[in-house]
Amino acid sequence: MQEQQLPTLIAPFKLARQGQELRGVVSVNGLERLATVLSDDKGHINVLLQFGKDQQGSNLVRGHLSTRVNMVCQRCMKPMSVNVDTNVSLAIVASEERAMQLPEGLEALIVEEEPMALARMIEDELMLALPIVTLHENRDCEPVLKKLQEETNVIEQAEKKVNPFAVLSGLK
C-alpha cells in the first residue's frame, strides 16, 4: 500500500474489523508530551500500523514506528541524535476490566470512545521506547562534572597565588 495522509482521528474497532493498514508520517512538533522530553521538536515519525483480528477474535493493532529525535546527553548536557525504532503490538479493548483479562505479553490500547486521536497512541508508544538515560559515546562527550571540577581547581590555584592577607604576615 502506498504512503497516505494519516487521519487525525481513528476508530480502532472499525479499522480492526476491516483489516485496514495505516502508513504515513507524523510530525514530532504535533506531539506535545513527547516534545517535553526532547531538546527540540524537529523531525518526523514513520508509521506503519496494521489493524486486524487474531484467531480468538481479539481486535489488534500491530506495526512499526521509527524516528530520529534530538535529546539532551545526561553527561555533557548537549543535544544528541537518538534513533527510535519500536514495534507496536496492542490489543484494542473498551475498558480497564477487559485489559486485565488479556493474555500475558499483550498490552492494551484502551478505547473508551471512538473516534480517538491517532497521535495519542503513537506518542504513548514512542514515549515507552525512548531510552531512560541518553549519553554520547565517551569519545564524543566531555562530562559537565569534569569540566566544573577543572574550573574549580583553576579558581582554587588562583586564590592560593594571590592572598590579600600575605602582607600581614610581614608585620608579625
Q: Domain ranges for the chain, please list them.
A: 9-137
pLDDT score, position 158: 65
Q: What pLDDT was estimated at residue 1?
A: 43
Low-confidence spans in the chain with pLDDT less than 50: 1-2
The model's pTM:
0.75
The helix/strand/coil state of 126 is helix
Q: For residue 149, what pLDDT is reported?
A: 66
pLDDT tens track for 55-71: 888 899 999 999 999 99
The span from the CA of 117 to the CA of 120, in Å, is 5
Where b means 16+ CB within 10 Å and e means fewer, 52-62 reads beeeeebbbbe
